[in-house]
Amino acid sequence: MRILSLAISMLVAAFTAQFAAAHDITKGDLVISAPWSRATPAGASVGAGYVVITNKGLSADRLVSLTTDLADQPEIHEMTNEGGVMKMRPLAKGLAIPAGGVVRLEPGGYHLMLLKLKKPLTAGQRYKATLVFEKAGPVEVQFEVRAMGEGQKKGPGHHNH
């Protein structure tokens, strides 16, 4: 019975790891992982997207823009805490992805801002966006929309530090 239980556990772990890895997109030296958004309330005109970008190369790249059919004005933003006040601003020159580094776009920090949403983001929905990098060029990514209370999923291959 222990052997059967162990075998089932190994199969579940292998499937979970394969599923997590299947969502990674590689373009040149960049690996784009865990793209997601939070559902928005009905009538909301803004949403946000989050993703992890790993640069396995020896030279930096830069996320310069994004496009999606869901929003008329998608932007790259940074949120900072200045003297106890949260401030958000667009990154006009994009977001540097350092050589050998990992940049996490997540709530409370760097993120993709979806301004002028054409319709609300609904839990369970998936939508496409194209991330445009200075060197790697355009990368099409599919975002998973999660329920309002859900954050970034933690699982095999996705570690929050």
Query: Does residue 107 lie in a domain region?
Result: yes
Q: What is the pLDDT along the chain (161 residues), one digit of tens a residue?
A: 544 343 333 333 333 333 344 479 999 999 999 999 999 998 999 999 999 999 999 999 999 999 999 999 999 999 998 899 999 999 999 999 999 999 999 999 999 999 999 999 999 999 999 999 999 999 999 999 999 875 555 443 443 33
Ramachandran angles phi, psi of 28, nearest 5°:
60, -125
Q: How far is CA 40 from CA 47, 56, 143, 158, in A?
A: 6, 34, 14, 24
Q: DSSP string spanning 24-86?
A: -EEETTEEEEEEEEE---TT--EEEEEEEEEE-SSS-EEEEEEE-TTEEEEEEEEEEEETTEE
Domain count across the chain: 1
Domain encompassing residue 86: 25-146
Query: Does residue 16 lie in a domain region?
Result: no
Query: Does residue 10 lie in a domain region?
Result: no
**What pLDDT does 158 receive?**
40
Query: Does residue 5 lie in a domain region?
Result: no
What's the CATH code of the domain at 73?
Answer: 2.60.40.1890
Query: Does residue 41 lie in a domain region?
Result: yes
**What pLDDT does 23 receive?**
73
Query: Does residue 79 lie in a domain region?
Result: yes
Query: Does residue 124 lie in a domain region?
Result: yes
pLDDT in tens, 120-142: 999 999 999 999 999 999 999 99
pLDDT in tens, 45-62: 999 999 999 999 999 999
**What pLDDT does 1 receive?**
52
**What pLDDT does 17 receive?**
36
Unique residue bearing structure tokens 């859900």: 150
Query: Does residue 9 lie in a domain region?
Result: no
